[in-house]
Each structure stands twice: as C-alpha cells, then as structure tokens.
Amino acid sequence: MKELWSSSVFWRVLINSIGVVSVILGFWLLVKLIKFIYSLRKNKNLNAKNYIDLLPIPSEFIGDVQIGITLNNEQNIDFNILDNKEKQLENIYNGNIEKGEKIFKIDSLKFKNGEYFISIKTNHQNILRKILVDN
C-alpha cells in the first residue's frame, strides 16, 4: 500500500477523494439526524394536545355509571356502546366537546348482563375498552 501511495498520484487522489466524500456524507447525515429528532420532538408536543384521556372506569357496570374524559382542546368525538362483536348498540354522544373534563352517564339497565365495549373515536385517537354489565 505504501508503494502505491508513493509511486502513483492517481491512488493518492482517489484515496483522498474517498476520505473527503466520506466526511461530507457523514456531516450531511448528522445534520439530517438532528433535524429529524427536532421535528419528532416538535410533533410529539403538538400531538399530545390532540389526545384525550379516559378517566378510570369501573370494572363492572351496575345501574347508572359515569364515564369521564379529559380533553386538551376542543374536539369532535363519537362515543358508543358496542356488543361483544363490536356492533354498535347505543350512541352515547356524537359531536363537538370543548376543552376540559366531560362526564357521560350510562344506564346499564338498558343492557343484558354480559360483556360489552366502550368505543370513543376522535380524529386522532380510537379508544376501545371492555366492560362487564352485571345488573
């Protein structure tokens, strides 16, 4: 390798060119990685504002049950009760809700004893929770 280096200008230019291209490519990839991490962090903060929090729900529904959600900004939601085959049985709420906490009342006496699902859909999120009606 030393003989090639000292004997030929071509090999010196080629090896130095490969080194320069590698440094430039590495720097470009590093800049892209930093931009990607920055945009990921920015989008995470923006998306966190669009999600809703479902407050803890009881494991068994007996009589009237209250279910609460917390919204970070105004959103359109679709709140349904589904059977065990995920077919809609009852629409609890469909519309726009302002920022803050919202409580929904569900009369479980309308349903036979068994397993059901609560479905809450927004533009950014779908929540599906299994519930047990035991009247």
**For 77-94, what is each residue's pLDDT tens digit?**
999 999 988 899 999 999
Which residues lie across from 22 on neighbouring strands? none
Strand partners, 102: 69
pLDDT band at 46 (very low <50, low <70, confident <90, very high): low
Per-residue buried b or exposed e for 54-90, using 16+ beta carbons within 10 Å of the residue's own CB: eeeeeeebeeebebebebeeebebebbbbeeeeeeee
Fold of 52-133: Immunoglobulin-like (2.60.40)
Using pLDDT thresholds of 50, 70 and 90, give the confidence band for residue 1. low
Residue 52 has pLDDT above 90, yes or no: no
DSSP state for residue 55 in the 8-state scheme: P
Tell me, yes or no, if the pTM score tops 0.75. Answer: no
The phi, psi pair for 15, rounded to 5°, reads -65, -40
Spans of all domains in the chain: 2-48, 52-133
Beta-sheet strands, E only, within 45-125: 52-54, 60-61, 64-71, 75-82, 88-97, 100-107, 114-121
How far is 67 from 102, CA to CA, in rounded Å?
A: 8
